[in-house]
């Protein structure tokens, strides 16, 4: 069975500083990986996804993530954080079976606080 670990429950950064959110996954085959963001009381918005090919993927809002198979990691990065980036971030791995769409397994999330 697949699993996702987000080791950092809460991260605080200053506005303008760089950001890296960690994600480690466990999955027997080539993983399909996702990062979603959730603002308070809201649903999940897709930031970026990795299916195959280039291991550095670009997403919306200036985010990027790098897939490292040897480390089973898919860390999310942003070079300069904005106050509006404060939210909860979820990493997810997608598992599929024949005739079905992907079932997502999520990590427990990382809460990002941005200081002025």
Partner 1 sequence: DAGVTQSPTHLIKTRGQQVTLRCSPKSGHDTVSWYQQALGQGPQFIFQYYEEEERQRGNFPDRFSGHQFPNYSSELNVNALLLGDSALYLCASSLIRQSTDTQYFGPGTRLTVL
- Residues forming contacts to partner 1 in the complex (CB under 8 A) are 4, 32, 34, 36, 41-46, 49, 51, 90, 92, 94, 97, 99-109
How far apart are CB 14 and partner 1 at their closest, in Å? Answer: 25
User: Of the two residues 38 and 72, which places its CB atom closer to partner 1 in the complex?
Assistant: 38
How far apart are CB 31 and partner 1 at their closest, in Å? Answer: 13
User: Of the two residues 17 and 46, which places its CB atom closer to partner 1 in the complex?
Assistant: 46
Which CB contacts under 8 angstroms, 24+ apart, belong to 5-11?
5/107, 6/89, 6/90, 6/91, 6/107, 6/108, 6/109, 6/110, 8/110, 9/108, 9/109, 9/110, 9/111, 10/110, 10/111, 10/113, 11/110, 11/111, 11/112, 11/113
User: Of the two residues 15 and 104, which places its CB atom closer to partner 1 in the complex?
Assistant: 104
How far apart are CB 51 and partner 1 at their closest, in Å? Answer: 5
């Amino acid at each position: 069975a697949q699993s996702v670990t987000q080791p950092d429950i809460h991260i605080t950064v200053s506005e303008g500083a760089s950001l890296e959110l960690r994600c480690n996954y466990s999955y027997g085959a080539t993983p399909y990986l996702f990062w979603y963001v959730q603002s308070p009381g809201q649903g999940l918005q897709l930031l970026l996804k990795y299916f195959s090919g280039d291991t550095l993927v670009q997403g919306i809002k200036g985010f990027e993530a790098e897939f490292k198979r040897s480390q089973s990691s898919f860390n999310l990065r942003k070079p300069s954080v904005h106050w509006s980036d404060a939210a909860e971030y979820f990493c997810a791995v997608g598992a599929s079976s024949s005739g079905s769409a992907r079932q997502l397994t999520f990590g427990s999330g990382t809460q990002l606080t941005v200081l002025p």
